[in-house]
């Protein structure tokens, strides 16, 4: 039941180091597309003052999240929710939202759905924090991301590394603005979106 992703094990510490200054001091952090559950358990250990709500549309992913959650025995990680960003969300409030490596491994329609959902559940001035590879100025930021984009499209033609400028347009429609772009290892970025 418990799955592991090498990329999650590699990037969880660098992501958490940045989250130290981005997450609120207290409250509920909703993680979308939690995958194996390794990120959320690690973050919950690093930020014990916060409550984390993992979620994923995949039953296999939710089983893995639950297995990691039970093994870690942390009181600040809730049971995973079934949440598909394109369907009605079972969450009505979050003090911050994390979305790691979902945008490129999902169809294009998930981006406007993500922005709309975040705008609904976040209070004013709260943050949506996304992580992954992005095209900037219409171009890939590295040859490795060009190869990654081709590999994603082979897996599913609906997948692919998205244009940052398009994300900004979709976010602006619902009152989210790009507050910060943070370069991360392996040609990835953390994007910090703030609700007006």
In a domain, 24, yes or no: yes
Residue pair 49/26 in contact by the 8 Å Cβ criterion: yes
In a domain, 185, yes or no: yes
Q: What is the mean pLDDT of the chain?
A: 93
* Mean pLDDT within 74-83: 97
pTM exceeds 0.85: yes
Residues whose CB falls within 8 Å of the CB of residue 7, separated by 6 or more in sequence, listed in order: 101
Q: Which of 184, 191, 183, 126 is nearest to 163 (CA)?
A: 191
Domain that holds residue 71: 6-133+163-195
| Per-residue confidence band for 194, with pLDDT thresholds at 50, 70 and 90 | very high
Show the CA angle centred on residue 49, arms to residues 42 and 81, nearest 5°.
Answer: 60
pLDDT over threshold 80, residue 9: no
In a domain, 172, yes or no: yes
Structural domain count of the chain: 1
In a domain, 141, yes or no: no
| Per-residue confidence band for 67, with pLDDT thresholds at 50, 70 and 90 | very high
- The predicted structure's pLDDT at residue 6: 67
CATH number of the domain to which 48 belongs: 3.40.50.150
Read off the pLDDT of residues 88-101 as tens digits, 9 standing for 90 and up.
999 999 999 999 98
- For residue 24, give the DSSP letter: -
């Amino acid at each position: 039941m418990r799955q592991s992703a090498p990329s999650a094990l590699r990037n969880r510490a660098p992501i958490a180091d940045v989250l130290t200054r981005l997450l609120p001091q207290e409250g509920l952090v909703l993680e979308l597309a939690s995958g194996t559950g390794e990120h959320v358990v690690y973050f919950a250990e690093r930020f014990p003052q916060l409550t984390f709500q993992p979620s994923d549309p995949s039953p296999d992913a939710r089983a893995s999240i639950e297995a990691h959650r039970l093994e870690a025995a942390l009181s600040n990680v809730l049971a995973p929710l079934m949440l598909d960003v394109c369907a009605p969300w079972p969450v009505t409030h979050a003090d911050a939202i994390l979305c790691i490596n979902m945008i490129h491994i999902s169809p294009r329609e998930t981006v406007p759905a993500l922005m709309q959902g975040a705008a609904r559940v976040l209070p004013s001035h709260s943050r949506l924090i996304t992580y992954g590879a992005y095209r900037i100025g219409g171009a890939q930021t590295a040859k490795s991301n060009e190869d990654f984009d081709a590999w994603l499209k082979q897996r599913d033609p609906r997948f692919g590394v998205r244009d940052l400028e398009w994300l900004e347009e979709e976010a602006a429609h619902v009152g989210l603005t790009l507050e910060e772009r943070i370069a991360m290892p392996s040609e990835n970025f953390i994007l910090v979106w703030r609700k007006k």
